[in-house]
Structure 1
Amino acid sequence: MRWYKNIYLGDNARKKKSAIIAKAEAHRFQHDIYFIVLSSTEGNLLEMMSAVQLLQPHYRQPYVWEKLFVVGIAKGYDEAVMTMAAVITDTYNAT
């Protein structure tokens, strides 16, 4: 799993950024945490993934895990939607 240098953080996730990243790297359970990742599906920009989803065996495979590029972290679904919107808005404004 790779992390964007200027990662987008929701207000609630900002407080625990280091702990969230450490737990994700250790494949530990995290309730109500969402990661905004670059999409692996052609035609899509981003995907919102629950930290619980990343505990599935498929995502633990090195060839899958290493392809995940996290651009945002949020605590709670609503915050994840807002964080994803911020990523998209900033990207469109910059191009």
Structure 2
Amino acid sequence: MDWYTGLYVSDDLKEKKDKIIDKIEHGAGTPGVYLITLPSNEKNLLDILSADQLLWPVMHRLCPVIVGMTHSYDEATEMAAAMILDAHKEVGAFRVEPYLRNRLRPDEDFAIHYPIRKRKPLWRMPFQRKRNV
């Protein structure tokens, strides 16, 4: 998955930011965490989804760049609205990606890529054979 370099994080998650990102990348559950992503289609300005939706490998693979992380859906809508209004003030249009690119230094990458890491099975039934990998 790709994470925006200047990730927007709500105040209550700033201390736990790296731990939550690591949990999401390892496929562990993170209840109550909502992510703001770049739009998945042309009709949307931004997308908001629960971090638990990324437990599905398909969602994990298809997820656009994550630009924000909050602790509740209401905070996510407020943060997304603020981002859109700031983008309109600076760029003159409701286009968030150019606004986010302008916020970074020229030498900074737009997004950091974390590859999905498969979790090892925690247990095996007695009748299951150990696979040679």
Q: Calculate the TM-score normalised by the size of structure 2.
A: 0.63
Distance in 2 (alpha carbons) for counterparts of 1:2 and 1:74: 17
Equivalent position to 1:77, from 63, 70, 73: 73
The CA deviation at 1:58 is 2.2
For the residue of structure 1 that corresponds to 2:70, the secondary structure is strand
* 2:55 counterpart of 1:59: no
Paired letter, 1:24: I
In the other structure, the counterpart of 2:84 is: 88
Structure 1 partner of 2:123: none
The answer to whether the 8 Å contact 1:2/1:70 transfers is: yes
More contact order relative to length (CA 8 Å, sep ≥ 6) = 1
* Correspondence list, 1:4-83, <5 A: 4-60=4-60, 62=61, 64-65=62-63, 68-83=64-79
The structure richer in strand per residue is 1
Is 1:2 matched up with 2:7? no
Larger Rg computed on CA atoms: 2
| Cα deviation 1:51-82 (Å, max 9, x = unaligned) | 1111124214x4x24xx200100011121112
Which string of whole-angstrom CA distances, capped at 9 and with x for unpartnered residues, describes residues 17-55 of structure 1?
111111111111001001000111122111001011111
Amino acid across the alignment from 2:30? Q
Q: TM-score by structure 1 length?
A: 0.85
Q: Quick check: 1:9–1:83 contact (8 Å CA) kept in 2?
A: no
RMSD of aligned alpha carbons: 1.4
SS in 2 for 1:43: coil
Q: Which amino acid aligns with 1:38?
A: L
Segments of 5+ residues of structure 2 without an aligned counterpart are 92-133
Q: Which amino acid aligns with 1:35?
A: L
Task: Give the whole-Å Cα distance in 2 for the aligned partners of 1:13 and 1:87.
Answer: 18
Residue 81 of structure 2 aligns with an amino acid whose one-letter code is A
Q: Which runs of 4+ in 1 moved over 3 A?
A: none
